[in-house]
Structure 1
Amino acid sequence: MNSTASLMISAIIFFFILRGQLSGMHKPLKKSGITLLLPILYISTSLTQLFDPTLHIREDQVIIALLIGMVVSIPLIITTNFEVRDNGNTFIKRNRTVFVLLIVIFALRFLAIATIKSIDPSTLSFMCNLVTFGYIATWRIVSFIKFRSVTSSKLVDLNA
């Protein structure tokens, strides 16, 4: 898969993540919170690049890309919170910083692909997808845990 196709797929996934964040601020999340984990499924489709016979990636590159993704997820984790509103439903707290962070991260991805020439394009695309997978998976799993703790504390408050 060439870098242009990879960027197009990333742009589509990016759009779905932004749309999900925005709707989560205006529409209550389902009781289970499973929809918070859907972006992991979206981005995992990019892992099909592993079947590309021209892909030459080393184990250490995979580990570094995933670790970078986990570090990138930290500001997203800090800025993503949940609130129970008057109607008893749980929403993503309104926070524009999350959108700014996502746009910056996506712009850095474009910049990396445009400037790094020492790695072949298919490997660089795959590494960018691994970084994306690393931050989305980490961010969404921790967000799911935060959501569950907010909803469980809501149930405790209702029973008290």
Structure 2
Amino acid sequence: MNYVLASTVGAVGMAIFVTFMRMKAAKKPASAKKIILPPIFMSTGALMFIFPMFRVHSLQIIEALTVGMLFSILLIKTSKFEVRGREIFLKRSKAFAFILIGLLIVRVIAKLVLSSSFDVGELGGMFWILAFGMIVPWRVAMYVQFRKLQNELHSGTNMN
């Protein structure tokens, strides 16, 4: 149970960190690099599956990916860009922080419920897959939206 508590505290800390990073990012122009790099950096976490304690069964992979992709819909819906001058910025969304907190609460409750049924390593692997399944579609959607705006900007299409 100590691992579950520690990972829950870590998840809360990460949620607070992401919220502040998102607010800070909205003050600077967006770039393809800023959109693409987070999932690439997160992908290094897959190295955990080298260790047997983190390995999960194929059905658990499908379940975790499905839940992550469903959660990503909320993030996609609240991530919009806007053009200011000749640059593209991530538009602040009041709902984003609430959605992030809501997703965190759902994850914490799921972790507490599932921790009695799954080994802590296996549960960690499933939640990493869930998070990766959430961030990749979200960032792909952001990148597509960013490129569309960038193309419109460079082609001279009126953005108003």
TM-score range, shorter chain: 0.7 to 0.9
Shift of 1:8: 5.9
Shift of 1:118: 1.2
Counterpart of 1:74 in structure 2 is 73
Unmatched segments (≥5 aa) in structure 1: none
Q: Residues 45 and 128 of structure 2 are in contact (CA less than 8 Å); yes or no, is this contact kept in structure 1? A: yes
Shift of 1:45: 3.1
Q: Residues 62 and 127 of structure 1 are in contact (CA less than 8 Å); yes or no, is this contact kept in structure 2? A: yes
**Rounded Cα–Cα distance in structure 2 between residues aligned with 1:16 and 1:90:** 23
**Rounded Cα–Cα distance in structure 2 between residues aligned with 1:158 and 1:34:** 24
Counterpart of 2:22 in structure 1 is 21
- SS in structure 2 at match of 1:111: helix
Give the aligned residue type for 2:93: N
Give the aligned residue type for 2:27: H
**Rounded Cα–Cα distance in structure 2 between residues aligned with 1:54 and 1:43:** 19
Unmatched segments (≥5 aa) in structure 2: none
Question: CA offsets, 1:1-26, max 9 Å, x none?
Answer: x5456556645654553344212311
Paired positions, count = 155
Q: TM-score, normalised by structure 1?
A: 0.84
Q: Residues 4 and 112 of structure 2 are in contact (CA less than 8 Å); yes or no, is this contact kept in structure 1? A: no
- SS in structure 1 at match of 2:26: helix
The 3 A distance-change label for structure 1 pair 36 and 129 is: same
Q: How does 1:1-160 map to 2 (within 5 A)?
A: 2-3=3-4, 6-7=7-8, 10-11=11-12, 13-30=14-31, 33-85=32-84, 87-116=85-114, 117-157=116-156
Question: CA offsets, 1:101-134, max 9 Å, x none?
Answer: 1121122222211222111221112111111110
- SS in structure 2 at match of 1:57: coil
- SS in structure 1 at match of 2:45: helix
Aligned-residue CA RMSD in angstroms? Answer: 2.3
Q: TM-score, normalised by structure 2?
A: 0.84
Aligned residues: percent identity?
28
Question: CA offsets, 1:59-80, max 9 Å, x none?
Answer: 1111111111111101111111
Q: Residues 27 and 91 of structure 1 are in contact (CA less than 8 Å); yes or no, is this contact kept in structure 2? A: yes
